[in-house]
Chains A and B, each alone.
Chain A
Amino acid sequence: MLCFVLISTMFFFLPQPVSACTDPYYPPACYLTYRVDDAVEDSKVEQNCRLWQQLTDGSIPLEDIRKVVYEWKYENVEWLYDIFGKIGYYISDGNKFADWIFFHGDREVVDCLLVAKRCEHLRAIRHKDPWYYAWEEDEVSLSLSRLAEEALAYSGDRLKDRYTLQAVRALFSLQRYEECIRLWNERQDALPDGLIKDMTLSYIAGCYYRTGDEEKAVSLYAACGDVNSMYHCLGYSISDMDEVERMRLVRSYNPCYTDFFRTVREMIQQVEKEESSWMSSYNARGRAEHNDSDIDSLWTPLAGLYDFSLELAHDIQTDNRGAWYYTAAYLADKLKHPAKALQHIRQAGLQKNSIALQESVQILEIYLSAKYAPDMQSYEARLIQDLKAMEALVEKHLTPDVITDTEDFGHYSLVAGYSFYYWNDMLRRLLLSVVAPRYLKEGDPVRAIQMANMADNLLYLKVRQKKPDRSQMDLMRESTRLENPYDYRNDLFELLDTTDVRYVAAYADRLQHPRSEFDRYLNSRGYSNLVYFHEIIGTKYLFQSAYDEAVAYLEKVPLAFQYRLNTFKEGYMRRDPFQPETNLTDRSDYKLRFAREMVLLRQQMNRPADANREAQAQIRYAIGLCNSFESCWALTQYSKQWWDDERIAKRKKAVREEYDRLVGKALARFTDPEAAARAYWSLGYYKKTVRDYPNSAIAEFARTHCDNLRDYFPAQTGSR
């Protein structure tokens, strides 16, 4: 038992061997986890939406503002503009921001939004439409010019920064850089500091660059945080610097600037991807090509980034200190400083973070807590809460697009271990790379199976709740023709396949009889089709040659389910295990009938009444046993690979030894030459049968049916 637990644990800790259509390709430990720039980027969007909220009504949901500002097309805003004041014409789609603008008659806001959308539309044509040809009097240029005038004509204070931004955008597009600079110099003191002013300043820096004042451009790009444009201006002078040195250079221009998260993400993801590739690379014998210390060494070059992150996190002047603590925590974990990782992530959680960043912090905190918990038993109370929190995040971000993707490609992505849907990826990473292996290590394989089941199936259950129709997944599960690409390749299956059958049986029992609230919670978040588990348990007992137990489980598997097995659909449950050259006409209960016959043969073997019958039963049993791992491998396994992994190779070796022992013993016991001849014949010793038992019926059969064997009996056949 211990042996199997260890093998299972090893399987789980190590990436799964790559083989055709069976195992996951990438270990969940390698899902791309670091997530800050999206959160910060989101925070800019969020910041802009908050500014609109301040300009309108604090009770309007930010999401509604985001939809109008970032997703509505020009035509949508134009429609709102056109029907302004015409109450009967307005049809609300439930967007509170649009409702507010219309019903409060805030013409100024709708005017401003229209100018912004028009500017965006014209700039898209000017910069992206390949058919557009710019010249000073073309319609797009004239429209942009008029738009700039219109924006400049705004005389109020409320939206002055936004109108200035649109005017600068339009003039910049028209390459009227001097005018932009003049306008900036006139207005910069009157504009409120913040996001909109920074956005405007980035264009002004561009104007300086295009008019030849590169030094000014660099300092302005640094001031507004447009780091990539700044690097572009600096060109070759920074080509020898590493990324951390460049970030320090930016701060030498603008000590307040800290928004390097895109670069940091790229640096981290580069190593994450390399780590993933190293963890999933195997030599021809299926052995990992890199050991743990090799993989850990990949992170060493990022020690400088860790120090830089920590410096910024500790600096009370820094914006986004939470994001820098998060970065430091992430890197501390990778650099093998668990205590620091836990400390930093807790500090990250204490900062004033955006919602998006707070979610990233929460995910990493859960992961690190599970990874570094002293033992699973004491951690379990917290784990329940953490799993519920992660489940809530999976559910919260489940957009219609994710639902469609889950139905269309989810099974492929999840089986292959591709990053697919961040929140579910993180749940899988936690459960499959930390929690389940720890339960295995600490001797609770049933919990490990529960975790793997939740990791593999929660997303489908959530999708099903949102969209109750039968999905592609259901169709494939129920099909007797299409391959089921998921249930026999996923991580749950991998674990079931490699864990001692008694634990799998105990898990099936726990599915029916949960012992705790946590069991009930986990059972309801996984695949709960008992027949699936009974079939696997029965097969695992066949693998162990525990035929009585196999019968007990296989009897619970209805025919309809048997026909859905991939091994059945692909034609591997066809051959007669006792005569593998023959195909069975009736393929129903393939495994069960085999198990029953093996039970019967074992009974006959142990009945001492007739030595010949006993020996015959022993030989038939040995043949069935051997074939159940060779030509009829689908009786004991779900896939056949071009090499046998250690577990299967070991079992097959034992089976071969048992076969030799049984056959040797049986052949020595025959007293009846006729029965002995039949036994040799059934074992494939054709020559021996005809040579040593020439007078047997089977020898006669051979001589009359087989040209080659006729040669052994010249006297009777007269051929020599």
Chain B
Amino acid sequence: MYKTRCKIFLPFLLLPWLLAGCGGRSREAGHASEAAHVECNAMYYWKTTFELSEEEKVFLRKHRVGRLYVRFFDVVKDMNPLTSEWDAVPNATICFQERPDSTLEIVPTVYITLEALKRMNDSEDEYAVRIVDRVLAMVKGNRIEKVKEVQLDCDWTKSTEESYFRLCREVRERLHHQSVDVSATIRLHQLRQDEPPVDRGVLMLYNTGNIRSSKVENSILSREDVLPYLQRKPTYELHLDFAYPTFGWGVWFREKEFQAILDWKKLSDYRHSRFLRRENASDCVVVEDFHDYVISASFQEGDRIRVEKPSFREIMYVKELVERQLGSKPHSCVLYHLDSFNLSDYSDHEIDAVFCAD
């Protein structure tokens, strides 16, 4: 069906290692460096503990993954115990149970909620210092060697754009002093807005639909959701890499009202139990009341669970569309995310095909 179009990566994969080995680079603030960024296979790591299973290590090696975007912490609006005031504070900081492989480039990623961003308004410079200092402390404290880029992830909108861009500018200025670049995640709807003041972006080709709507078939990835944004060739100057989903989840509804997301492992357990009946490929119905004590959730007969996991075919359709419209320059492909249970539903051949950059 889909031909694998993998090229030989080795020379490209070696390049960042060589560059990183050359020591610190001197660069003036505000000057991005394309040389620092090398196109390679990349993945997101989105858990609260950094501890790779053997399968995951094998996966990284087998698919020659050179860069790992690791979620370091979220920034959320919460009570700051030091000041006893509502504040933008770090949350769910990752705990490194092991040091990342020194051959991997690690991109510390910070997810910022919109509530936290609003709280930062007019003090973006202070929060930029806090974010940068904390990321660098985590890098040093955990002896992570190859950090050339930090990524900010935020679902900013037109109303919060100014504040977010101020934050990006401040973070970039500070990180450039450390010879570190800044990237940002770009949602599809953000392609129509101004480009954020960062060195590069990662276009998120997932979470494209409205998860809370019972009418949506697949909120993770659907060509119908992507097409409107890519029908006309967007003009985007910022270097973009592309991130594709290789994960699944269940979306639980009661009387068409969204209840919660169920992770793929949990969903798989349910699907093999007597409580769920499969209606079709993407829909299950609860046939008997049951309570899950682990997640404190009570399911009732008649509840529906939408099973979402993008098919290889769907991913490739979107990938071809994206690369046709935006992929004229060299770029990297990123998978979301490194989790052996989720990835086990895709063959090596399919993974290579998704990674392959034209």
Chain A interfacial positions (CB closer than 8 Å to B): 124-125, 128-138
Contact = CB atoms under 8 A, between A and B. Distances in A.
B90 A131 contact: yes
Contact of B141 (A125, A130, A138): A138
B82 A133 contact: no
Given A133-B137, A135-B137, A137-B140, A128 B93 contact: no
Contacts of A124: 82
Given A129-B82, A130-B82, A131-B134, A136 B89 contact: no
Given A130-B90, A131-B133, 5 more contacts: A130-B91, A132-B134, A133-B134, A135-B137, A135-B140
A132 B89 CA distance: 10
Contacts of A130: 78, 80-82, 87, 89-91
B15 interface: no
A124 B137 CA distance: 18
Interface in B25-79: 78
Q: Which secondary structure dominates where chain B touches chain A?
A: mixed
- 4 tightest A-B CB contacts, nearest first: A135-B141, A130-B89, A133-B137, A128-B82
A133 B81 contact: no
A135 B142 CA distance: 8
24 contacts: A124-B82, A128-B81, A128-B82, A129-B81, A130-B78, A130-B80, A130-B89, A130-B90, A131-B89, A131-B130, A131-B133, A131-B134, A132-B134, A133-B134, A133-B137, A133-B138, A133-B141, A134-B141, A135-B140, A135-B141, A135-B142, A136-B141, A137-B140, A138-B140
Contacts of A131: 89-90, 130, 133-134
Contacts of B89: 130-131
Interface in B112-141: 130, 133-134, 137-138, 140-141
Main secondary structure of the interface of A (DSSP, over half): loop
B93 A133 contact: yes
Contacts of A136: 141
Contact of A125 (B82, B90, B133, B134): B82
Nearest to A127: B81
Contacts of A125: 82
B243 to A, nearest CB: 27
Nearest to B131: A131
Most buried by A among B93, B137, B138, B140: B137
A216 to B, nearest CB: 30
Contacts of B90: 130-131
Nearest to B137: A133
A130 B127 CA distance: 12
Contacts of B134: 131-133
Nearest to A129: B82
Residue from B80, B82, B130 whose CB has the most chain A CB atoms within 10 Å: B82
A131 B141 CA distance: 14
B120 to A, nearest CB: 12
A125 B130 CA distance: 13
A418 B244 CA distance: 60
Contacts of A128: 81-82
Q: Which of A124, A134, A135 has the most CB of B within 10 A?
A: A135
A130 B80 CA distance: 7
Nearest to A134: B141
Contacts of B93: 133
